[in-house]
Structure formats: structure tokens, C-alpha cells
């Protein structure tokens, strides 16, 4: 037997084994290990869990400068490098002062699970962690409102995945609300702060705006604001039944263009009992796959030092107690 050929064959087999292993190792590190290191400043801000108690009961909720989190359940999520948008759990977000939760759901039998696109959110960052279900999220929300009855939670629900019709989707969601009806505000009009205190205020984004059929909560629809070739569009107005929604959600802009759209969108804000504004600072960027943390590292510091007046509901990636306070303190100091 030719020992040289045998040695080359063994080395080749070794390489054929080690290369896939290295690819898997690099992929796992990029998707899970690196995101675990992408964190935010957790320094607490005094009074953040009860900041709404200073607001007048008669104030329409649309006139409150309300901090929110985009894809709020993604602290632990599959393919985290490109899908993770938050470093705090929902419980931690509420305690930090965030009051608008961007809830993305997909049906799993008779349950809803939290999702981002086709990826599933988990209860922890460990590989063996279980799926994060809506019951888990609601348990945290109910507990928070029981302890902090002056607050409200805007529960902005979107059908992220699945083939259910809007009627089927809402029927399943209604079953959740029916388990604790006293904790929910299901009005189709913008409430006052007093009406919303101690409640989960349902905002729905899970039906075709051209053919509305569900009945629960505030309709909240806007045309998809994707694309990055034209960076001139900012906020857009949409009629939503009893009120007009002005929204800026240019989620494929790179950081400089997103900041411009955000600032210009704030100038278009009109807020009263018949007008609502939502301004997203979150974006995935112009690439086929995004890295939200990289973009948030640029955009969030800009928000912290922004001199433009903040208005409406403002939604961010990688929210922190300092970012929430920067937004909600506008209600008292500007």
C-alpha cells in the first residue's frame, strides 16, 4: 500500500470533518454568543416604574409622550444576531418605564407564541430554553399592573406568522383576554389616561386595513414602509376609524437616513383625542439581513442628545432605563 497516498487521504478526511465543525462553531458564535454580549446600561432611574402617576386622568393617551420597545420579546430569540432587538426582558422593560410593547404573535395550536419573522422567542438564552408563549408575557404584565396600578400597557399586537384569518386570530386572542377581563381595555377609541390606568390597552395590527372585521381594541394600521432607495419619505398619515394615525416606520433605512426620517417625522406629529403619532427609531438597515444592535448603538445616543421636541409614542430597539426616562420625562419638563 502506498503510505503517502494513505496519509493524504487521512488528512483530507480530517479536513472534511473539521471544516463543517468550524462553520457550525462560527455560526453558533455569531448567532448566539455575540448577541449575548450585546447589552445596554441597566442603571435604574428613580420612579421609572410609576412615572404615569403624575399625569392628569383627563389627558388623552395619544397626547402622552410614551416610550416603547420594538419587537419587545426578542431578548432571547432564534438567529439572535439578526433578529434580537432588545436586551431587557418584558418585565424589565416595564419596570424601566416602557409602556408600548410591540407584540408579534404566531399561533401554535390553541396558544400564541412570541415571534420575530419566522423565528421563535424563548424563555431564556440557553439552547435548551422553552418557547416564550403569550401566557408568559401576560403573567408579567398582570403582575406589573397589580403592583403599579397608575400605569398602563399599550399592547400593540401584530400577526407575525401563520395562516389564520383575522377572525380566527382575534378569536384566539379574545380567549386570552377572557381569562382576566378586568385587566384589559378593548376600546376602539383613544382612551384617557384615567381610563387606561391599571389596564392592558389592546392596539390591533392583525387585519387587512382595507377590509376591517375584528372588533377588539384600537385599530392601528399603516402601509408597509419598506425600501431604502428613496430616503425622502418620512411619516405618513392613515385613517383608522375614529382617529388619524401618523406613523414613521422606515425600517430599511441605514442609520443616518433613519435619524433624518425620525426627526422629520416628529415635525409632522399631531396629537389629541382624534390623532395619534407613532415614531419608530428602530431599523434593520438596507442589507438583506440586519444587525439591530449595531444600528441601535448609533441611533440611541442620538436620541439621548436630541434637542428636537419629542412627541407621540416613540419606539426603540435595545431600550434602556435611561432611554425610557429620556422619552417620558418630556411630559414633565418640555
* Helix%, strand%, coil% for the chain, nearest 5: 40, 20, 40
Q: What is the DSSP string of 17-37?
A: HHHHHHHHHHHHIIIIIHHHT
* Residue 97 contacts residue 304 (beta carbons within 8 Å): no
Give the residue from 193, 122, 151 showing the smallest Cα distance to 47.
151
List the pLDDT tens digit at each of the 334 positions of the chain.
465 556 666 665 555 666 565 555 555 555 677 777 899 999 999 999 999 999 999 999 999 999 999 999 999 999 999 999 999 999 999 999 999 999 999 999 999 999 999 999 999 988 789 999 999 999 999 999 999 999 999 999 999 999 898 889 999 999 999 999 999 999 999 999 999 999 999 999 987 666 666 789 999 999 999 999 999 999 999 999 899 999 999 999 999 999 999 999 999 888 888 999 999 999 999 998 889 999 999 999 999 999 999 999 999 999 999 999 999 999 998 6
* Distance set, CA 45 to CA 217, 235, 261, 323 (Å): 31, 31, 29, 10
Q: Is 134 exposed, middle or buried (0-12, 13-18, 19+ CB in 10 A)?
A: buried
Q: Where is 171: in which H helix or E strand?
A: helix 166-178
pLDDT computed for residue 145 by the predictor = 98
Which residues face 203 on adjacent strands?
156, 218
Q: Which residues, 6+ apart, have CB-to-CB distance to 280 below 8 Å?
A: 70, 247, 248, 249, 250, 251, 262, 315, 316
Cell of residue 66, nine digits: 410614551
Reported CATH class of domain 62-333: alpha beta
Question: Domains of the chain: which residue ranges?
Answer: 62-333
Burial class of 159 by CB neighbour count within 10 A (0 to 12, 13 to 18, 19+): buried
**54-93 as b/e, with b when 16 or more CB fall inside 10 Å?**
ebeeeebbbbbbbbbbbbbbbbbbbbbbbbbbbbbbbebb
Distance CA 280, CA 275 (A): 17
Q: What is the reported pLDDT for 3?
A: 59
Determine the Cα–Cα distance for residues 11 and 6; give it in Å rounded to an integer.
9
Classify the phi-psi angles of 109: left when phi > 0, otherwise alpha if psi is within -120 to 50, otherwise beta: left
* SS3 call for 204: strand
Sorted by sequence, the CB contacts under 8 Å of residue 129 that are 6+ apart come out as 76, 122, 123
Amino acid at each position: 500500500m502506498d503510505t503517502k497516498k494513505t496519509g493524504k487521504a487521512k488528512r483530507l478526511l480530517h479536513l472534511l470533518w473539521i471544516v463543517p465543525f468550524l462553520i457550525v462553531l462560527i455560526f453558533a458564535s455569531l448567532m448566539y454568543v455575540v448577541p449575548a454580549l450585546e447589552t445596554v446600561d441597566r442603571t435604574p432611574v428613580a420612579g421609572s416604574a410609576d412615572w404615569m402617576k403624575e399625569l392628569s386622568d383627563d389627558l388623552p393617551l395619544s397626547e402622552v409622550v410614551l416610550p416603547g420597545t420594538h419587537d419587545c420579546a426578542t431578548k432571547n430569540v432564534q438567529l439572535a444576531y439578526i433578529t434580537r432587538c432588545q436586551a431587557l426582558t418584558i418585565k424589565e422593560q416595564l419596570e424601566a418605564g416602557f409602556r408600548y410593547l410591540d407584540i408579534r404573535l404566531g399561533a401554535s395550536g390553541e396558544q400564541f407564541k412570541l415571534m420575530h419573522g419566522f423565528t421563535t422567542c424563548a424563555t431564556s438564552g440557553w439552547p435548551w430554553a422553552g418557547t416564550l408563549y403569550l401566557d408568559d408575557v401576560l403573567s408579567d404584565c398582570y403582575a406589573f399592573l397589580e403592583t403599579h396600578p397608575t400605569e398602563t400597557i399599550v399592547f400593540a399586537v401584530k400577526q407575525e406568522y401563520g395562516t389564520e384569518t383575522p377572525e380566527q386570530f382575534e378569536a384566539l386572542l379574545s380567549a386570552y383576554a377572557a381569562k382576566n377581563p378586568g385587566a384589559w381595555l378593548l376600546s376602539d377609541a383613544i382612551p384617557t389616561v384615567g381610563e387606561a390606568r391599571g389596564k392592558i390597552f389592546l392596539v390591533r395590527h392583525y387585519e387587512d386595513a382595507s377590509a376591517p372585521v375584528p372588533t377588539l381594541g384600537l385599530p392601528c394600521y399603516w402601509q408597509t414602509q419598506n425600501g431604502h432607495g428613496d430616503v425622502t419619505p418620512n411619516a405618513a398619515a392613515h385613517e383608522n376609524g375614529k382617529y388619524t394615525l401618523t406613523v414613521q416606520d422606515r425600517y430599511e433605512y441605514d442609520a443616518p437616513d433613519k435619524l433624518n426620517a425620525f426627526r422629520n417625522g416628529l415635525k409632522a406629529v399631531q396629537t389629541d383625542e382624534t390623532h395619534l403619532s407613532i415614531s419608530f427609531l428602530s431599523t434593520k438597515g438596507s442589507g438583506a439581513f440586519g444587525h439591530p444592535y449595531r444600528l441601535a448603538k448609533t441611533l440611541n445616543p442620538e436620541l439621548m442628545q436630541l434637542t428636537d421636541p419629542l412627541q407621540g409614542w416613540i419606539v426603540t430597539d435595545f431600550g434602556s432605563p435611561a432611554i425610557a426616562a429620556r422619552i417620558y420625562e418630556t411630559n414633565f419638563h418640555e
